[in-house]
């Protein structure tokens, strides 16, 4: 299988050139990713534990689905693709925002955040996901407060933004 090719971008998320995944990660070049928050009709958020074979943050808890954009791919297309690849779900996704890369805290990624609501049963890709479960937002917040290092940096930042957005009524 050939290596993924990413768009390398600048601080303003403008494409500079393309490079293989391993080179982008080794050099800490800015690139793009998406995160999808999947909710069920009870308002619970699916949180998954990354598989042990992930090259970054293995066994950490993170967004329902997430992944890199391929070179030339839009954030929206990547969100739909990752939702299907990692969870076996097809559902419309709502764009919430793009969060700028912030060094190692965001894995050098500009992150597009999306959400969807579905009661379809996710089918986890075992190469990506060890396990997953739906939790209330209050339970996720308590889990993060109890053991922040059990969660990826990016998920913690996106989740905090999401809670603040809910509290402000947006």
For the segment 98-107, what is each residue's pLDDT rounded down to a tens digit? 999 887 777 8
CB neighbours (10 Å) of residue 122?
Answer: 20
Can you give the residue ranges of every domain in the chain? 32-167
Tell me what the mean pLDDT of segment 31-56 comes to.
95
Look at residue 102 in the predicted model and tell me its pLDDT.
84
Strand, helix or coil at 111?
Answer: strand
Backbone angles phi, psi at 85, to 5 degrees: -65, -45
pLDDT band at 135 (very low <50, low <70, confident <90, very high): very high
pLDDT band at 1 (very low <50, low <70, confident <90, very high): low
CA distances to 41, 160, 162, 163 from 167, in Å: 20, 11, 9, 6
CA distances to 61, 111, 144 from 8, in Å: 26, 13, 31
Look at residue 166 in the predicted model and tell me its pLDDT.
80
Look at residue 147 in the predicted model and tell me its pLDDT.
98
Rounded to whole angstroms, the Cα distance separating 12 from 44 reads 33
Rounded to whole angstroms, the Cα distance separating 148 from 143 reads 7
Helices (H), the chain: 21-27, 75-87, 137-146, 153-167
Contact 156, 144 (CB under 8 A): yes
Strand, helix or coil at 159?
Answer: helix
For the ranges 8-12, 55-59, 123-127, the lowest mean pLDDT is seen at 55-59
- Give tens-digit pLDDT for 52-105: 998 788 999 999 999 999 999 999 999 999 999 999 999 999 999 999 988 777
Look at residue 121 in the predicted model and tell me its pLDDT.
97
pLDDT at 170 > cutoff 70: no
Strand partners, 111: 33, 99
Percent of all residues in the chain with a pLDDT value above 70, rounded to a whole number: 98
CATH domain 32-167 topology: Nucleoside Triphosphate Pyrophosphohydrolase (3.90.79)
Look at residue 64 in the predicted model and tell me its pLDDT.
97
Mean residue pLDDT of the chain comes to 94
Look at residue 72 in the predicted model and tell me its pLDDT.
97
Look at residue 56 in the predicted model and tell me its pLDDT.
83
């Amino acid at each position: 299988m050939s290596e993924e090719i990413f768009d390398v971008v600048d601080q303003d998320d403008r494409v500079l050139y393309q490079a293989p995944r391993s080179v982008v990660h080794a050099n800490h070049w800015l690139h793009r990713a998406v995160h999808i928050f999947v909710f069920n009709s009870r308002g619970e958020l699916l949180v998954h534990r990354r598989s042990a074979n992930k090259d970054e943050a293995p066994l950490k808890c993170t967004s329902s689905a997430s992944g890199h954009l391929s070179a030339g791919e839009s954030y929206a297309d990547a969100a739909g693709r990752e939702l299907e690849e990692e969870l076996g779900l097809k559902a419309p996704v709502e764009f919430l925002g793009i969060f700028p890369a912030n060094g190692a805290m965001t894995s050098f990624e500009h992150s597009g955040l999306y959400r969807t609501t579905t009661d379809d049963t996710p089918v986890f890709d075992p190469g990506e996901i060890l396990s997953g479960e739906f939790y209330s937002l209050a339970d996720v917040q308590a889990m993060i407060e109890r053991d922040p290092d059990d969660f990826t940096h990016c998920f913690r930042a996106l989740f905090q933004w999401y809670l603040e957005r809910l509290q402000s009524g947006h």
